[in-house]
Amino acid sequence: MIKGCRLAAFALACALPLAAHAEEIVISNYGVTTNGMPYAVALAKGFFKQQGADVTGILTSDGGGTTVRTMLGGNLAYGEINPTATVIAIQQGADLKIVSDNVQTVAEFIWAVKPDSPIKTATDLKGKKIGYTNPRSTSQALAILVLEKAGLKPSDAELVKTGGFGEGIVALDLGAVDITPIPEPLWSKNKDKYRAVVRASELLPPLDNVVGVTTGKAAAARGDFIRAVIRARRQAVDFMYANPDESAGIIAQAYNLEPAVALSALKNLLGSHEKSGVRYWSGGEINLKAMNEMMRAQKIVGALKDDPDWSKIIDESFLPDDLKKKTN
């Protein structure tokens, strides 16, 4: 009788649909920078499981090549990485594909000064010291674009390496730089101490920020999981726009932020598309124009040498049908 029950149970188990395989994904700078905020919402609200992806944890990394190595070394099916690091890795032989275009602007960037600074606009940057994090970084590339938009050359100002955004604030306080980038959510935490001069959302065009990436192996074998992650992230983005207060509470906990700071950062970014028409967090549709703008910026600082062949790098087949071929 017991043997018969075991056989019946085994047969029933075999007949039932297989449960989604539990696993992790890797998101550049998750818990620190704003790009990864939708994943916190998706995890807390159960959107991953609703969409069929049993994501049990979100790995973080320092971004760029570190995220690529974490993804490849951990045999992970999905990661969110900045496009330049992705392109460079592919050009060096990594078997990766861009499957979604997740953050299409750099609206989190704000260049700020001390309250009593004579700098009022970007045109006042001539002869000034502008902080940036590290050579060939996005902050260095964006500083040059800010100067371009002001009608200035890179040589018209002095770019000063600070080593990080927090270090840039210290350099500003000490007078080592005249202006420095303070991205969200760091800006919302410090906005009462400094004055914003340049907001990327108002001065710069959409520049691609992070993309969804998978490996060739996962693309062939884990398509359903990849599609489910993309759908869950999109669901979280829609939820954030519709429910900013609740979303801010989730983000505050995941990012270890004061609720007021999380809400301020979230609302700033949710409303950042008023001039460009391009939302900070997208549903995943590909924006080639924003990608090419970022590649141009990275070539200026020597982070990228050769133009990417997007036709060989991007795979839109994992996107929901209504988001496919929406390149612009």
Give the global pTM: 0.90
If phi > 0 it is left, if psi is from -120 to 50 it is alpha, else beta; for residue 135 that is beta
**Percent of residues, the chain, with pLDDT higher than 90:** 85
| pLDDT of 296 higher than 70 | yes
| pLDDT of 322 higher than 90 | yes
The first and second tokens of residue 84, run together, are: 């330049």
Quick one: average pLDDT of 141-164?
A: 97
69 CB-near residues (< 8 Å, 6+ apart) = none
Gap between the Cα atoms of 292 and 322, Å rounded:
23
The first and second tokens of residue 219, run together, are: 């693309």
| pLDDT of 184 higher than 60 | yes
Gap between the Cα atoms of 111 and 128, Å rounded:
13
b/e map 7-26, b = 16+ CB within 10 Å = eeeeeeeeeeeeebeebebb
pLDDT value of position 22: 72
| pLDDT of 166 higher than 80 | yes
Between 3.90.950.10, 3.60.21.70, 3.40.190.10, 1.10.10.1100, what CATH number should domain 110-203 receive?
Answer: 3.40.190.10
Q: Specify the DSSP element, H or E, that contains 113.
A: strand 110-113
| pLDDT of 101 higher than 50 | yes
| pLDDT of 148 higher than 90 | yes
Q: What are phi and psi of 130, to 5 degrees?
A: -110, 125
pLDDT value of position 61: 83
For residue 215, name the pLDDT band (cuts at 50, 70, 90). very high
pLDDT value of position 276: 87
Quick one: average pLDDT of 174-183?
A: 98
DSSP conformation class of 118? S
Cα 177–180–186 angle (5° rounding)?
A: 135
For the domain made up of 20-105+207-323, the CATH class stated in words is: alpha beta
Question: Hey, what amino acid is at 219?
Answer: A
pLDDT value of position 328: 47
Gap between the Cα atoms of 235 and 48, Å rounded:
9
The first and second tokens of residue 72, run together, are: 């490849």
Q: In which residue ranges of the chain is CATH 3.40.190.10 found?
A: 20-105+207-323, 110-203
Q: What are phi and psi of 193, to 5 degrees?
A: -100, -20
Quick one: average pLDDT of 195-209?
A: 97
In angstroms, what CA-CA distances link 196 with 62, 109, 190, 202? 26, 10, 11, 12
Side-chain half-sphere of 324: how many Cα atoms within 13 Å?
8
pLDDT in tens, 56-79: 999 998 767 888 888 888 889 999
pLDDT in tens, 221-274: 999 999 999 999 999 999 999 999 999 999 999 999 999 999 999 999 999 999
For residue 20, name the pLDDT band (cuts at 50, 70, 90). very low
The number of angstroms, rounded, from the C-alpha of 249 to the middle of its chain's C-alpha atoms is 20
Q: To 10 degrees, what angle do helices 65-73 and 83-91 make? A: 60
In angstroms, what CA-CA distances link 166 with 34, 133, 179, 183, 325? 15, 9, 13, 10, 39
pLDDT value of position 142: 97
For residue 21, name the pLDDT band (cuts at 50, 70, 90). low
Chain mean pLDDT for the chain: 92
